[in-house]
């Protein structure tokens, strides 16, 4: 066999392999869309948005933890990513919240863009890189509202943990741990909770949903790197294990009726 023939055969095998990989990725994407569409449809039978979030988030328990799923950087174009097979703590919150707000897969995609990106613009610099900005922007667009409790305080953080972004200075309204624990009755299933980081250069180190046990005890439902998957765990246990000092809570809002 001549060199040209060997090269041609090698190229053909490479193209076939690439085509198979592309087809597999497309199949996974279609399967993910079908799963999300099913969750949207089933979730609509569960009342208000807090009930829909509670249902949809529970259906995704056991899904693997997967970091760095978003595509884009200061030098690489941003790609809109929609998947159901792996989450970090923020993409889990975004996916569940978008599904709970949607009636169709098209509405889900629109909601996910508006939740993940400032003004829904798919660009790296418009992505809500810091969870404080995620909360601010999703209050601005009426996706959520902050949950207030007597005893909340303001703290100031100067964050610069995200490479490629200039440092930011945040004045964060937070609940000290004791205030949060004393006001558990104010919390609802489906509320979004952020845990303030001890690091001076980072705002929050984790986020998830509040769930409620039958006996009324609060649970944290989140994509947990420490567990490698989406799990429910004791809220008090999480607060103690990570020596959490402050939290913030946001309550998802029903979308406006078109």
Could you tell me which residues are beta bridge partners of residue 173? Answer: 154
8 A C-beta contact, residue 80 and residue 124: no
Q: Are strands 218-224 and 246-252 parallel, antiparallel or unpaired?
A: unpaired
What pTM was estimated for this model as a whole? Answer: 0.88
Chain mean position to CA 10: 42
* Gap between the Cα atoms of 56 and 232, Å rounded: 13
| pLDDT at res. 221 | 98
Q: Is the CA virtual torsion 103, 106, 111, 112 positive or negative?
A: positive
| pLDDT at res. 169 | 97
Per-residue pLDDT of the chain (258 residues; tens, 9 = 90+): 333 333 344 444 443 433 443 343 344 445 578 999 999 999 999 999 999 999 999 999 999 999 999 999 999 999 999 999 999 999 999 999 999 999 999 999 999 999 999 999 999 999 999 999 999 999 999 999 999 899 999 999 999 999 999 999 999 999 999 999 999 999 999 999 999 999 999 999 999 999 999 999 999 999 999 999 999 999 999 999 999 999 999 999 999 876
| pLDDT at res. 256 | 86
8 A C-beta contact, residue 199 and residue 205: yes
**Residue 228 CB-density burial (10 A; 0-12 exposed, 13-18 middle, 19+ buried):** exposed
Distances (CA, A) of 70 to 153, 176, 179: 33, 32, 35
What ranges do the domains of the chain cover? 32-252
* Gap between the Cα atoms of 141 and 70, Å rounded: 22
| pLDDT at res. 178 | 98
| Topology (CATH level 3) of domain 32-252 | putative xylanase like fold (2.30.260)
């Amino acid at each position: 066999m001549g060199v040209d023939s060997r090269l041609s055969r090698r190229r053909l095998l490479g193209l076939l392999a690439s085509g198979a990989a592309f087809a597999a990725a497309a199949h996974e994407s279609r399967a993910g869309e079908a799963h999300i569409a099913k969750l949207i449809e089933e979730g609509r039978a569960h009342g208000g948005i807090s009930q829909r979030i509670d249902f949809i988030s529970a259906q995704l328990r056991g899904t693997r933890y997967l970091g760095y799923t978003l595509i884009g950087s200061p030098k690489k174009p941003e790609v809109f990513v929609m998947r159901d097979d792996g989450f970090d703590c923020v993409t889990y919150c975004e996916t569940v919240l978008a599904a709970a707000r949607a009636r169709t897969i098209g509405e889900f995609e629109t909601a996910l863009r508006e939740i993940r990106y400032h003004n829904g613009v798919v660009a790296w610099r418009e992505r809500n890189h810091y969870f404080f900005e995620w909360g601010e922007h999703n209050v601005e667009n009426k996706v959520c509202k902050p949950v207030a409790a007597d005893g909340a305080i303001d703290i100031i953080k100067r964050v610069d943990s995200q490479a490629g972004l200039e440092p930011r200075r945040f004045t964060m309204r937070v609940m000290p741990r004791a205030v949060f624990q004393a006001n558990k009755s104010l919390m609802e299933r489906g509320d979004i909770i952020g845990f303030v980081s001890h690091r001076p250069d980072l705002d929050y180190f984790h986020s998830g949903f509040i769930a409620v046990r039958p006996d009324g005890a609060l649970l944290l439902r989140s994509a947990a790197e420490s567990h490698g998957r989406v799990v429910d765990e004791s809220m008090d246990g999480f607060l103690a294990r990570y020596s959490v000092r402050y939290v913030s809570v946001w309550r998802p809002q029903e979308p406006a009726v078109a």
